A = this chain, B = another copy of it.
């Protein structure tokens, strides 16, 4: 009997391969799902069932794809926001066996109406659950967000409270297997620890310390979460069933002329690191370092955008294409297989972004040069903890839609917590035609380390 966690970095999504004897099941497979088939084979198993804890909004489900690959059936909860075209509906108390491993379905709505949890039992000895797959209901250190039905906000927060009681009732001894870990867009207070038990969470998870339903509901109503626009696309695809990863997931190498031939029909996505973008990049490109794609691509890219990548080699290009495919961006025409010196030596244009440090920011803040703005692109929660006096605040994800409120002839120095999101934001401004854009590298971290003053936003 085994439970194997398969973690998707970037999305911080946790999926699971479980089984006993020659049979296995997968909980919440991701889109590039050959990994489950391979791991099952290595264990001498075949996949006979696929379970979804809920309809995901932050990534493409691999359930219909893995089902086609293996012949296994997909099981999904009732009351989804539409017909789940590829799944059988299961509900409270349904039960499935894999050798001596038994899986029992619990309906645990709240995050979504169709949310399920799956308790597992060892038929060899003992009666209590040995573990529970809690989906987006219960995380290590946090609980699921309940902001997807604004008009039913109180109702669904209350449902989540009830669902959590049902999960906790499985007993302190049960291992906890949630659908996300720290770094996910599905919760920002998750602990940076992949394992826990119901016992540990019952006593320590801050949200489980609230024992009154109404107080819990109020706490949920007070939360703020971002909803990148690509969530809508994921929701639709995860009812219809998305297509397998396309053969173009591994993008073709392009030399300079080949790159130029496709560049004007595509969005240029620079997936190199932050410092490389600052040092030299191709004019018009969007900065999306490979490990920031999962969190930020969905704010800027449209469902049908053709993309062409700028990457530091084939390994990075592949990783970027994989990260993009997991959230639905398949149409990648290739990547430039030439580094910036070669690009420039071919006589092509490049840009670098002026970078300043805390000392220089402090000077400017005190001098307030004409036409200069310090633009802070952190999110609402971070901003509420304090800003540099005078900074203008727009969340990096919302920057594109709020460009009209900014002036192209001003000089913007962009900051965030470290300079990483600020670089993405700077690329958004530069693409929109802002000419005078710089980055405060180190940003709020460096500001505080240098003893800079922090004020409450107005």
Q: A185-212: which residues lie under 8 A (CB-CB) from chain B?
A: 191-200, 202-204, 206
Chain B CB within 8 A of A227 CB? no
| Copies of this chain present | 4
Q: Is the CB of A193 within 8 A of B419?
A: no
What is the distance, in angstroms, from A392's C-beta to the closest C-beta of chain B? Answer: 20
Count how many chain A residues have C-beta atoms less than 8 Å from C-beta atoms of the other chain.
Answer: 98
Q: Is the CB of B339 within 8 A of A274?
A: yes
What is the distance, in angstroms, from A312's C-beta to the closest C-beta of chain B? Answer: 6
Given the known interface contacts A41-B318, A275-B272, the answer about A203 and B126 at a Cβ–Cβ threshold of 8 Å is yes
Given the known interface contacts A130-B200, A279-B279, the answer about A191 and B125 at a Cβ–Cβ threshold of 8 Å is yes
CB neighbours of A173 from chain B (8 A)? 172, 197-200, 202-203
What is the distance, in angstroms, from A440's C-beta to the closest C-beta of chain B? Answer: 9
Partner of A171, one of B198, B199, B340: B199
Partner of A22, one of B126, B202, B255, B280: B255
Given the known interface contacts A2-B194, A275-B340, A276-B279, the answer about A125 and B345 at a Cβ–Cβ threshold of 8 Å is no
Q: Is the CB of B345 within 8 A of A445?
A: yes
Chain B CB within 8 A of A278 CB? yes
Q: A295-320: which residues lie under 8 A (CB-CB) from chain B?
A: 312-315, 318
Interface stretch of the complex, out of A49-57, A347-355, A381-389:
A347-355
What is the distance, in angstroms, from A37's C-beta to the closest C-beta of chain B? Answer: 7
Q: Is the CB of B445 within 8 A of A347?
A: yes
Give CA–CA (A253, B23) in the complex, Å.
Answer: 8
Chain B CB within 8 A of A444 CB? yes
CB neighbours of A197 from chain B (8 A)? 130, 172-175, 197, 199
Give CA–CA (A191, B100) in the complex, Å.
Answer: 11
Q: Is the CB of B192 within 8 A of A124?
A: yes
Q: Is the CB of A199 within 8 A of B200?
A: no
Q: Is the CB of A344 within 8 A of B1?
A: no
**Closest chain B residue to A42, Cβ basis:** B314
**Closest chain B residue to A318, Cβ basis:** B41
CB neighbours of A131 from chain B (8 A)? 195
CB neighbours of A433 from chain B (8 A)? none
Q: A21, A196, A446 — which one has the most chain B CB atoms within 10 A of its CB?
A: A446
Q: A277, A279, A315, A352 — which one has the most chain B CB atoms within 10 A of its CB?
A: A279
Give CA–CA (A410, B252) in the complex, Å.
Answer: 45
Give CA–CA (A214, B276) in the complex, Å.
Answer: 52
Q: A56-82: which residues lie under 8 A (CB-CB) from chain B?
A: 68-70
Q: Is the CB of B344 within 8 A of A349?
A: no
What is the distance, in angstroms, from A106's C-beta to the closest C-beta of chain B? Answer: 18
Chain B CB within 8 A of A449 CB? yes
A–B complex contacts, Cβ < 8 Å, 26 sampled: A22-B258, A41-B250, A41-B253, A42-B314, A125-B191, A125-B204, A130-B195, A174-B197, A174-B200, A175-B195, A199-B199, A272-B275, A273-B276, A274-B340, A279-B352, A279-B355, A315-B315, A341-B418, A341-B420, A344-B357, A344-B442, A345-B419, A345-B444, A345-B446, A346-B446, A350-B442
